């Protein structure tokens, strides 16, 4: 007769084995999904090329800039007197003036 008093580990119930497998599969799936998302961001990001900007933009006399934005081949300055001045991005020449009315 064996009189060893050391406890023997019991096998996991079948429900817990299934749960352990499901959690492991979920973890692997989430890691794979995260890697796919990171890869898509890297692949789809633009090359980081900069848009051309003019060296200087000359505002009309008395105009003060309050906002600035740029497009592919133009830059726009919004002035405090409610005008939008659109300049050519390559040359800095004024293309168009738009008056904002209230």
Same-domain check for residues 42 and 55: no
Same-domain check for residues 44 and 79: no
Q: What is the pTM of this model?
A: 0.52
Rounded Cα distance between 39 and 32, Å, is 11
Domain that holds residue 28: 13-49
Nearest alpha carbon to residue 84 among 71, 23, 45, 53:
71
Per-residue pLDDT band at 57 (split at 50, 70, 90): confident
- Predicted confidence at residue 1, as pLDDT, reads 54
Rounded Cα distance between 75 and 68, Å, is 7
Per-residue pLDDT band at 49 (split at 50, 70, 90): low
Same-domain check for residues 30 and 65: no
């Amino acid at each position: 007769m064996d009189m060893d008093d050391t406890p023997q580990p019991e096998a996991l119930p079948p429900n817990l084995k299934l749960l352990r497998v499901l959690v492991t599969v979920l973890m692997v799936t989430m890691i794979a999904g995260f890697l796919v998302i990171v890869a898509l961001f890297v692949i789809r990001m633009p090359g980081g090329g900069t848009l051309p900007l003019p060296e200087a933009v000359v505002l009309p006399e008395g105009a003060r800039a309050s906002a600035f934005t740029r497009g592919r081949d133009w830059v726009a300055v919004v002035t405090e007197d409610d005008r939008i001045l659109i300049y050519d991005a390559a040359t800095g020449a004024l293309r168009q003036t738009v008056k904002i009315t209230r």
